[in-house]
Amino acid sequence: MGDRQLETLTFHNTYARLPEAFYAKLNPTPFSSSPYLVSFNAAAADLIDLDLREAERPEFTALFGGSMLTPAMEPLAMLYSGHQFGVYVPQLGDGRAILLGEATNARGERWDLHLKGAGMTPFSRDGDGRAVLRSTIREYLCSEAMHALGIPTTRALSIIGSDEKVYREQVESGAMLLRMAPSHVRFGTFEIFYYRRQHEHLRVLADYVIDHHYPHLREAPDKYAALFAQVVERTARLIARWQAVGWAHGVMNTDNMSILGLTLDYGPFGFMDDYDAGFICNHSDHNGRYAFNQQPFIGLWNLSCLAQALLPLAEKDALKEGLDGYMPLFEREYRSLMRAKLGLADARDQDEELIRDFLGLLQGSHADYTIVWRELGGFLSGRGMVNDRLREHFLNRERFDAWAVQYAERLRAERSRDDDRQQAMNRVNPKYVLRNYLVQAAIEKAQQKDFAEIDRLLALLQRPYTDQPGMEGYAAPPPNWGKHLSVSCSS
């Protein structure tokens, strides 16, 4: 557990040492009304050795509510561009977020402290630079839920609320989220210097990323192509994990893709309730570009944009070789994750068919993705055994019975023991995920200044694989009002 006070946090800002073309230096804009602490995440505080009692001090609320800085902070808004829904936008950048600096822990690890909702920047375009309580709660809870699921992601330290009014589809309360990551460099950070033909800046950026985040590549013979290959691998593994857990990003623009392979920028997102391969979680995505089943292909498309941006630094053939490795990497990782979800110890040729047919059963029955996978752990593989509880989830019972025979034969072929397998499956098939209706309930209470549900969900989601007494209702399917909740880019 950390023991540092706010004043003793060790700060750097290596990004501020880059040329001025990379950012705009400015301070956060404080709220017009008194800020207050909504929620504090002890697990994230540990990452920077911050004493948990610091959250009780008014200085904490002032610092992460935008009205105070420590002397070592060098706040700035990062510049980038990106392809948004397939169309290149020449300049984006941090329009409502400010990088305060990098906090260093006792192990020498550096964490960007990125304050979202910190006010207007030169990159705000027509925006107000603010975030609303609703969106900060969604990101705060989901980033921590994803981390607990073993999915690379940004983290979140705190939410600071206010009574300042912010206008979205309706009037809402303003809030600030303190987001943490080893880096906030995006694919779009490279794209802007490519399209501006500022190739020396492109080289400086690539060297910066290598030095700070891929140091083993410093002496590589073709280090920029090697960097790209590493990003390809991390992105493939990331999206395979999204697919396995049934999660959709919603806005997979290149400016929302991390150079470290982290889940970045939680706007409209969704864990699936009823399984639907074509699930669209963003009601602004009218053509389904970022539908659940399109995510692997959009990952490839986005990587091709990054490869193009790196053309001034690396040979085309070398970049193409890295890009060509994406789909095999993704498919290999995805099959491995899905075999684990099925409790299979070995890889065999028929596994792909077994996975595909089970997903087809889920789709045809509108079965709950999380619940059915969890219950599959209790599958009885002995000859003549019945799995009535699991069977009830499927409309086409005969089709399920046929699949169950194949599955049982496959388990017996590797001498799988039901009890041992269930324990292993329960470690990869979560019982609790952040369903949209759960976070909506927390938001509605928070809007009435009741923040207890946020903390309750945070604690629950930090142990998603563990049965938690008294919390069974959080593992239940959503009520009718909670299905297909509309979530937009303002979320």
255 is catalytic: yes
Q: 311 burial class (0-12, 13-18, 19+ CB within 10 angstroms)?
A: middle
**Other CB atoms closer than 10 Å to residue 42's CB: what's the count?**
15
SS3 92: coil
Taken as a whole, the chain contains a residue count of 491
Six-digit token pair at 116?
């979202």
CB of 96 closer than 8 Å to CB of 131: yes
Instruction: Enumerate the β-bridge partners of residue 167.
Output: 171
CB of 142 closer than 8 Å to CB of 151: no
Check 49, 255, 273, 285 and give the catalytic one.
255
Q: How far apart are CA 253 and CA 84, in angstroms?
A: 5
CB of 112 closer than 8 Å to CB of 184: yes
CA dihedral 162, 153, 296, 362 (to 10 degrees): -80
**Other CB atoms closer than 10 Å to residue 146's CB: what's the count?**
27
Q: How far apart are CA 133 and CA 116, in angstroms?
A: 11
User: Nearest Cα to 156, choosing from 137, 176, 139, 179?
Assistant: 179
Chain centroid offset of residue 166 CA: 25
Q: How far apart are CA 268 and CA 135, in angstroms?
A: 9
Tokens 């940004």 belong to residue:
154
**Other CB atoms closer than 10 Å to residue 381's CB: what's the count?**
18
Helix axes 326-341, 418-426, angle to 10 degrees: 130
DSSP string, 268-334: S-EE-SB--TT----TT-TT-TT-GGGHHHHHHHHHHHHHHHTTTTS-HHHHHHHHHTHHHHHHHHH
Active-site residue set: 255
